[in-house]
Structure 1
Amino acid sequence: MPPFQQVCQILRTTLGLSYQPLTEDTPLLGAMPELDSMAVANLIVALEQYYGFEVRDDEISARHFATVGSLSDFVASKLE
């Protein structure tokens, strides 16, 4: 499954979004009330567990959580 589709699934599961439509342009941080600081931490853990990579503290940036597309791009960059 491409990173974008899997990132959408992980977002839905972690944030309890059920079947909310998500596109690359769907805003996240600051626009989605479910995505608070604790949810960001849980989301990072879920991504690390699913993909088997580690996100260092210095890699965590609001720009990666701006949209579903920017988060997916961040995941893709970690997989390279």
Structure 2
Amino acid sequence: MSSDVTHSPSGTATGGEVTLAAVLDVVGTTLGIEDRVGTFDAATPLFGTLPELDSLAVLELLTALEDRFGITVDDDELTGGLLETAGSLHAFVHDRAR
């Protein structure tokens, strides 16, 4: 089985590694907060803290993450902890991209 990995400047690294920076790039682009996302780290709270991340934006963000990293997010995986912090979102995407 061959591995077709699409490389982007801040997307997946060789072997499909998903970085926090790549996930935050998607967050920034999707929510229109590119000017602020550069200050985020793994402990940065997301849902409930970012006014841009409302229920509609959650769906847009998850769709963008699915497209960027080739993952699938099932409805039953949408728990409060998923979007609690940038780190929890990164961990979720990283685990799915394997």
**Which TM-score bucket, shorter chain as reference?**
over 0.9
With the length of structure 2 as denominator, give the TM-score of the two structures: 0.77
> Which fold has the larger relative contact order, with Cα–Cα distance below 8 Å and residues 6 or more apart in sequence?
1
- Counterparts of 1:75 and 1:3 in 2: how far apart (Å)? 9
Q: SS in structure 2 opposite 1:64?
A: coil
CA shift for structure 1 position 61: 1.1
1:19 matched residue in structure 2:
35
One-letter code of the match for 1:6? A
Q: SS in structure 1 opposite 2:63?
A: helix
Structure 1 outlier segments of 4+, above 2 Å: none
Unaligned runs of 5+ in 1: none
- Check conservation: 1:15, 1:34, Cα contact below 8 A: yes
- Counterparts of 2:24 and 2:48 in 1: how far apart (Å)? 18
RMSD, matched Cα: 1.0
One-letter code of the match for 2:82? H
With the length of structure 1 as denominator, give the TM-score of the two structures: 0.93
Structure showing greater radius of gyration is: 2
- Counterparts of 1:32 and 1:66 in 2: how far apart (Å)? 11
How much identity, in percent, do the aligned residues show? 39
Structure 1 residue 30 and structure 2 residue 48: aligned? yes
